[in-house]
Amino acid sequence: MELQGIAIIDEKNAKRIAEAMGITVHGTMYLFIILYRHRIISKDELVAIFDELVSHGWRVSVEDYIKIKRKIELL
């Protein structure tokens, strides 16, 4: 907050607390989308990263999974 940075948080309660404190919050996939937009990774790599995160136990609701997949498709 003092540095006016962005918090990368996926856990919903922690996100709510940070937002209530006025901290800008984004999730893990935000980082990878930034990497894609800066052409550091390809769209195929972005999809592979997302799929690998999920397959290794990254917890995401079905609704959020669908939203993220759609967002990637629209990039």
Q: 36 near 42, Cβ under 8 Å?
A: yes
Half-sphere exposure of 33 (CA within 13 A, CB side): 14
- What tens digit of pLDDT does each residue of 8-22 get? 998 889 999 999 999
What's at 47, amino acid-wise? V
pTM (two decimals): 0.75
Closest alpha carbon to 49 in 72, 67, 32? 32
Q: What is the pLDDT of residues 31-66, one digit of tens each?
A: 999 999 999 999 999 999 999 999 999 988 899 899
